[in-house]
């Protein structure tokens, strides 16, 4: 008996299936925008305040138990007065920041809460000059306004250190709490920071799946942002690389891991990544970038008061979404798959299947290549409008 996947707007598609299997799958998960509308209606009805109120648990003996206060006025005040998009509503707060050593150098992981969803979105800030003990950087430090704000009158130095509101290095001997930062940034000759908006991909980033290029892209973004910056004023002068990866918890282009796993099975029976989403009752892409924009503003990146940004992406939607949010994107830089750039036979391992190299797609790993990935990349270009030269991949066939 034929198996029919029904979707509200699409004609049904038939594949073959045994009669002993369960009834056809119909996704009960509405597209993201509809879900958010529903959530807003419930909030309005129940008059739930749009502040973020989570308790701060004790982690240090000297830190007192406190409720998290409402968003600091500095963050709210940084929002433009006239807004047409969601930016007037969404507020973010950096709850904690810490140093993470990586194969590409030191990064600062920032964990954010927001007033739109209950996910913990992240910012990976690459600005090692802040960590350096000996240099006075000529570039403005990339810091979170909400993290550096004073959260309450009785906030102690220990509270601030615990949540990462410190400057320089944190050591057993050195603990220098940060101060609230000035909104304005003096203009500099330093090139605008590199920024990537990255969407969560458990399969690609955690278990090294080569169905997609997500793991490699995350690694490549951190690597690129960490590269020293050559200053135009002098051919030899460089400063440490600086920028940020905004890591959004929008697994599977916003459809969630369950649906993405089902979509992979649809891909194995012959559909591409776009059709698979649609057959499950989703849109090809259900992501939003309003939270990313709010986080960037909080970091002083792309906002009126901050620096403009250079965005690492092949996806024109991301550039448009940020510009619609009022952010200043000076330039788009492509994310060309490593295997496309490194086409010689010797560059592809002969020992591993499909040219896979050890550590591929993990942070600090090598390049990914394979039949599934090839299909995925092609579909992104041909059906999702991603800007990549397909001629490069064709030369590899
Ligand atoms: N639904 C679905 N999501 C996928 C699939 N493969 C990867 N993803 C998700 O796709 C997201 C990444 O989006 P991509 O379309 O690869 O790239 P992008 O972020 O739009 O564009 P770039 O900035 O150029 O990388 C992550 O959330 C992944 O979990 C798939 O086959 N189906």
Contact residues for 35 (Cβ-Cβ < 8 A; gap 6+): 29
Contacts 24+ apart (CB under 8 A), 341-348: 341/392, 342/367, 343/392, 343/395, 343/396
83 pLDDT band (50/70/90 cuts)?
A: very low
Averaged pLDDT for residues 112-127: 97
CA distances to 79, 123, 248, 296, 340 from 293, in Å: 11, 12, 11, 5, 30
255 lines ligand 1 (CB under 6 A): yes
Tokens encoding 4 = 């029919």
Ramachandran angles phi, psi of 226, nearest 5°: -80, -10
pLDDT above 70: residue 74: no
Per-residue model confidence as pLDDT tens digits over 28-46: 444 445 544 554 454 444 4
Per-residue model confidence as pLDDT tens digits over 224-245: 999 999 887 666 788 899 999 9
The residue ranges of every structural domain in the chain are 76-250+287-394
Radius of gyration of the chain, Cα coordinates, nearest whole angstrom: 23
Per DSSP, which regions of the chain are E strands?
A: 2-5, 13-16, 55-56, 66-67, 92-102, 105-114, 121-126, 166-167, 176-177, 194-199, 229-230, 238-239, 243-248, 309-312, 329-333
Ligand 1, atom 23: closest residue by C-alpha: 313
In terms of Cα–Cα distance, which of 382, 372, 311, 373 is closest to 338?
A: 373
149 lines ligand 1 (CB under 6 A): no
Q: How far apart are CA 293 and CA 297, in angstroms?
A: 6
How far apart are the CA of 36 and the centre of ligand 1, in A?
21
How far apart are the CA of 199 and the centre of ligand 1, in A?
7
Averaged pLDDT for residues 164-190: 86
200 lines ligand 1 (CB under 6 A): yes
Per-residue model confidence as pLDDT tens digits over 145-166: 999 999 999 999 999 999 999 9
260 lines ligand 1 (CB under 6 A): yes
Averaged pLDDT for residues 5-10: 37
285 is catalytic: yes
pLDDT above 80: residue 67: no
**What is the predicted pLDDT for the residue at 318?**
97
Angle at 56 between CA 118 and CA 100, to 5 degrees: 75
Which tops the pLDDT comparison, 137 or 177?
177
**What is the predicted pLDDT for the residue at 128?**
93
Ligand 1, atom 31: closest residue by C-alpha: 273
pLDDT above 60: residue 345: no
Catalytic residue chosen out of the listed positions 196, 211, 242, 287: 287
Tokens encoding 341 = 């750039």
**Helix, strand or coil for residue 188?**
coil
Which uninterrupted H or E stretch holds 33? helix 32-46
pLDDT above 90: residue 111: yes
Ligand 1, atom 2: closest residue by C-alpha: 252
Q: How far apart are CA 292 and CA 295, in angstroms?
A: 5
Angle at 97 between CA 96 and CA 103, to 5 degrees: 145
How far apart are the CA of 285 and the centre of ligand 1, in A?
8
Which tops the pLDDT comparison, 189 or 126?
126
**What is the predicted pLDDT for the residue at 37?**
55
Per-residue model confidence as pLDDT tens digits over 349-377: 554 444 445 445 577 777 777 888 888 99
The atom number, within ligand 1, closest to the CA of 201 reads 29
33 sits in the region (left: phi over 0; alpha: psi -120 to 50; else beta) called alpha
**What is the predicted pLDDT for the residue at 214?**
94
273 lines ligand 1 (CB under 6 A): yes
313 pLDDT band (50/70/90 cuts)?
A: very high
pLDDT above 90: residue 26: no
Q: Is the ipTM of this complex over 0.95?
A: yes
Ramachandran angles phi, psi of 157, nearest 5°: -65, -35
Ligand 1, atom 8: closest residue by C-alpha: 252
What distance lies between CA 196 and its chain's CA centroid? 7
Percent of the chain's residues with pLDDT above 70 = 69
Question: Which 8-state DSSP code applies to residue 24?
Answer: P
pTM of this prediction?
0.78
**What is the predicted pLDDT for the residue at 215?**
93
Q: Do residues 379 and 280 make contact, with C-beta atoms less than 8 angstroms apart?
A: no
Lowest mean pLDDT among 126-130, 135-139, 147-151: 135-139
**What is the predicted pLDDT for the residue at 185?**
63
Q: Which fold has domain 76-250+287-394?
A: Rossmann fold (3.40.50)
275 lines ligand 1 (CB under 6 A): no
Residue 46: other Cβ atoms inside 10 A: 7
287 is catalytic: yes
Q: How far apart are CA 311 and CA 245, in angstroms?
A: 10
How far apart are the CA of 253 and the centre of ligand 1, in A?
5
**What is the predicted pLDDT for the residue at 395?**
59
Mutate to test the pocket of ligand 1, among 215, 253, 262, 368 (most ligand atoms within 8 A of CB): 253
Catalytic residue chosen out of the listed positions 285, 290, 298, 366: 285
Average pLDDT over the chain reads 78
Q: How far apart are CA 122 and CA 85, in angstroms?
A: 22
The atom number, within ligand 1, closest to the CA of 254 reads 27
């Amino acid at each position: 008996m034929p198996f029919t996947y029904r979707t509200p707007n699409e004609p049904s598609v038939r594949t073959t299936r045994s009669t002993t299997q369960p009834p056809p799958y119909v996704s009960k998960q509405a597209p993201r925008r509809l879900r958010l509308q529903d959530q807003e209606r419930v909030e309005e009805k129940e008059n739930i305040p749009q502040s973020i109120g989570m308790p701060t648990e004790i982690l240090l003996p000297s830190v007192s138990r406190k409720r998290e206060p409402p968003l600091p006025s500095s963050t709210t005040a940084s929002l433009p007065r006239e807004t047409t998009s969601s930016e007037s509503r969404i507020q973010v707060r950096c709850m904690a920041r810490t140093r993470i050593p990586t194969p590409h150098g030191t990064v600062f992981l920032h964990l954010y809460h927001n007033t739109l969803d209950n996910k913990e979105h992240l910012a990976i800030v690459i600005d090692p000059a802040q960590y350096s003990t000996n240099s006075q950087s000529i570039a403005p430090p990339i810091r979170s306004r909400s993290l550096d704000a004073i959260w309450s009158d009785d906030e102690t130095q220990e509270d601030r250190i615990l949540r990462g509101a410190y400057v320089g290095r944190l050591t057993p001997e050195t603990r220098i709490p940060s101060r609230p930062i000035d909104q304005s940034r003096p203009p500099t000759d330093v090139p605008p920071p590199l920024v990537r908006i990255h969407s969560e991909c458990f399969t690609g980033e955690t278990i090294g799946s080569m169905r997609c290029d997500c793991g490699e892209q995350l690694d490549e973004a951190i690597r690129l942002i960490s590269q020293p910056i050559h200053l135009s004023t002098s051919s030899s002068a460089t400063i440490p690389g600086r920028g940020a990866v905004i890591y959004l918890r929008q697994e599977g282009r916003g459809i969630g891991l369950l649906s993405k796993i089902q979509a992979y099975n649809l891909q194995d029976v012959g559909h591409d990544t776009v059709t698979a989403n649609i057959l499950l009752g989703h849109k090809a892409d259900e992501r939003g970038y309003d939270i990313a924009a709010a986080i960037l503003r909080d970091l002083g990146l792309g906002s009126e008061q901050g620096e403009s940004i250079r965005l690492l992406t092949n996806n024109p939607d991301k550039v448009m979404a940020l510009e619609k949010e009022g952010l200043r994107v000076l330039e788009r830089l492509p994310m060309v798959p490593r295997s496309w750039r490194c086409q010689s036979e010797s560059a592809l391992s002969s020992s591993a299947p499909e040219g896979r190299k050890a550590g591929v797609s993990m942070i600090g790993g090598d390049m990914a290549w394979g039949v599934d990935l090839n299909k995925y990349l092609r579909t992104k270009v041909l059906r999702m409008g991603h800007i990549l030269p397909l001629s490069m991949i064709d030369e590899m066939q």
